[in-house]
């Protein structure tokens, strides 16, 4: 059963075609990494999934249910509003630039959505937030404001914040690209732990070692298209597409 599936997902910004009929499928418990050169449309793809960007055409299925179907920039059909919201919340998102709420402490950042979207009581939200902070190794930073946390710590709080909505799949958009090299490890460590606990993950990343170890499949995206999709060993030792080879040579 696929947790997340797209069919011919396309996205244009005006005249600029950024995604060109992208079809993927992610099964329950899979970690899938997306790699590719800058401007390939990787971010746009993730943002199109959780509706930060509105897709031009294509279908999105979540939990094998039709979530959204659009053609020519108009919605053909979508899940009923309550169901739509539920399915939307099955995707958690972690951004390259963290996007923590600067006026809230680490704990309050995590509590906000459970309290106001899921209507959890303050006490319940707090204990949930404390558990999650423990899970990302930041129990001692509960009352710090984001400005007083390192980038790596901020990103770990952001992961905990996304997890607080109990998503079934986590979308990561280059979660370590904004970090100093020495801080990358702690974030990848949390992500590995998450993968080991069985979380379904779709990860855009430039960290090839992470992709190689953690991913079951790697998607190479180029010019808004999936140029190649294969298992890590295959991808790194014997890429089929010459453009994959060229890209990997340029970064490894």
Partner 1 sequence: MADVKRDPRRRRAAVAVLAALVVACAALAFTKPPMAQVERSISAELIEGAGNSYNLTGHNYLIFNIARGRNIKSAATDTYIGIAGSVLPMNSGAAKPIANVLFWIPPLLGGTRITVALTMVSVFAGVIASVFLALGKISKFPPLSAACRAYIFFFRGTPLLMQLFFIYYALPDIIPSLTINNKFLAAFIAFALNSAAYCAEIIRAAIQSIDKGQSEASRALGLSGAQTMRLVIIPQSVRRLIPPVANEFIMVLKDASLVSIIALTDLTQMTRSISSSAGNALVYVPAMVIYLVITAFFSFVFNKLETRFSVYQ
Please report how close the Cβ of residue 144 comes to partner 1 at its closest, in angstroms.
Answer: 10
Q: Is 233 helix (H, G, I), strand (E, B) or coil?
A: helix
Please report how close the Cβ of residue 230 comes to partner 1 at its closest, in angstroms.
Answer: 29
C-beta closer to ligand ATP: residue 41 or 175: 41
| Residue 222 contact, options Mg ion, ligand ATP, partner 1, none, Cβ 5-8 Å cut-off depending on partner type | none
Please report how close the Cβ of residue 232 comes to ligand ATP at its closest, in angstroms.
Answer: 19
Which of 200, 207, 166 minimizes the C-alpha distance to 186?
A: 207
Please report how close the Cβ of residue 52 comes to partner 1 at its closest, in angstroms.
Answer: 5
Q: Establish if 42 lies at the interface with ligand ATP (CB under 6 A).
A: yes
CA-based torsion, 85, 89, 91, 92: positive or negative: positive
CA-based max dimension of the chain: 55
Full strand arrangement of the beta sheet holding 2-13: 16-27, 2-13, 57-62, 65-71, 74-78
C-beta closer to partner 1: residue 54 or 238: 54
Q: Is 152 helix (H, G, I), strand (E, B) or coil?
A: helix
Q: Is 33 helix (H, G, I), strand (E, B) or coil?
A: strand
Q: Establish if 43 lies at the interface with Mg ion (CB under 5 A).
A: yes
Q: Which of 100, 106, 160, 214 binds partner 1 (CB under 8 A)?
A: 100
Interface with ligand ATP in residues 11-40 (CB under 6 A): 13, 16, 18, 36, 38-40
Read off the tokens for 223: 């010019």
Please report how close the Cβ of residue 51 comes to partner 1 at its closest, in angstroms.
Answer: 7
Residue with tokens 């280059």, as numbered in its chain: 174
Please report how close the Cβ of residue 247 comes to Mg ion at its closest, in angstroms.
Answer: 15
Q: Establish if 84 lies at the interface with partner 1 (CB under 8 A).
A: no
| Residue 117 contact, options Mg ion, ligand ATP, partner 1, none, Cβ 5-8 Å cut-off depending on partner type | partner 1
Which alpha helices (H) appear in the chain, and where do they start and end?
Answer: 42-49, 81-88, 106-116, 122-135, 151-163, 181-196, 208-214, 232-237, 242-251
Binding site for partner 1 (CB under 8 A): 47, 50-52, 85, 88-89, 91-93, 95, 97, 99-104, 112-113, 116-117, 145-147, 158, 161-162, 165
């Amino acid at each position: 059963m696929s947790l997340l599936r797209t069919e011919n997902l396309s996205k244009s910004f005006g005249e600029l075609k950024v995604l060109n009929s992208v079809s993927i499928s992610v099964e329950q418990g899979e970690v899938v990494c997306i790699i590719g050169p800058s401007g390939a449309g990787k971010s746009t793809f993730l943002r199109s999934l959780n509706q930060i960007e509105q897709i031009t055409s294509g279908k999105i299925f979540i939990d094998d249910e039709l979530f959204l179907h659009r053609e020519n920039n108009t919605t053909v059909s979508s899940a009923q509003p309550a169901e739509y919201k539920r399915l939307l919340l099955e995707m958690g998102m972690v951004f390259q630039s963290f996007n923590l709420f600067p006026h809230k402490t680490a704990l309050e950042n995590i509590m906000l959505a459970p309290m106001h979207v899921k209507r959890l009581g303050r006490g319940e939200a707090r204990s949930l937030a404390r558990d999650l902070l423990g899970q990302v190794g930041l129990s001692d930073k509960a009352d710090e404001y984001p400005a007083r946390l390192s980038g790596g710590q901020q990103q770990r709080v952001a992961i905990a914040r996304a997890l607080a909505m109990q998503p079934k799949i986590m979308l990561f958009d280059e979660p370590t690209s904004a970090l100093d090299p020495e801080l990358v490890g702690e974030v990848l460590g949390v992500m590995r732990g998450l993968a080991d606990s069985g979380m379904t993950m779709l990860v855009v990343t430039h960290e090839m070692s992470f992709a190689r170890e953690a991913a079951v499949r790697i998607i190479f995206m180029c010019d808004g298209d999936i140029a190649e999709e294969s298992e890590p060993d295959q991808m790194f030792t014997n890429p089929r597409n010459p453009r994959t080879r060229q890209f990997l040579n340029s970064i490894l």
